[in-house]
Amino acid sequence: MEATIASAVAAWIEVGKRSRLRTSGQSMAPLLREGWMVLVEHGRENIRRGDVIAYRAGERVVVHRVVRFLADGGLLTKGDGRSGFDPPVVPAQIIGRVVSVITPWGSINLMAPWCRVGQSLLGWASHVAERMRALWSH
């Protein structure tokens, strides 16, 4: 099963510019729910703080929000429903950014201007919250 997942991800990246992934878990609640689909635009270009991206973590694909860009070209991400950061994501792990969420009731275009502003604010808020937590824990 693990080899199948890795080869499927490799095929998605090679075959086209976009792919659909089914979500699992609750780490991105309330934006994403178990079983919903996301449309991922492949590539590392145009990713901004606050964007939701898909990346490889071992044999899994993780869909989390970009909180910070690192000096080495990597990213710091976290799930909206989690309190801590994920391990740093290196550019080679990135599949692409999530451009749409497909729910049972319809689609949410994450590239719409109102959504981009909201995502940017969420990215900044996550970053500030983590900084404040770090300061208070000392």
E-strand spans in the chain? 18-22, 37-42, 52-57, 60-69, 75-78, 94-103, 106-109
pLDDT mean across residues, the chain: 79
Q: Which residue has the tokens 């090679």?
A: 14
Kindly list the domain boundaries of the chain, sorted by start residue.
Answer: 2-131
Strand-pair partners of 31: none
For 54-71, how does the pLDDT look when each residue is reduced to its tens digit (9 = 90+)? 999 998 999 999 988 999
| Class of the CATH-defined domain 2-131 | mainly beta
For 93-117, how does the pLDDT look when each residue is reduced to its tens digit (9 = 90+)? 999 999 998 888 888 878 776 554 4
3: pLDDT confidence band, cut at 50, 70 and 90? very low
For 17-31, how does the pLDDT look when each residue is reduced to its tens digit (9 = 90+)? 888 999 999 898 888
The whole-model pTM stands at 0.75
User: Given this model, what pLDDT does residue 111 score?
Assistant: 76
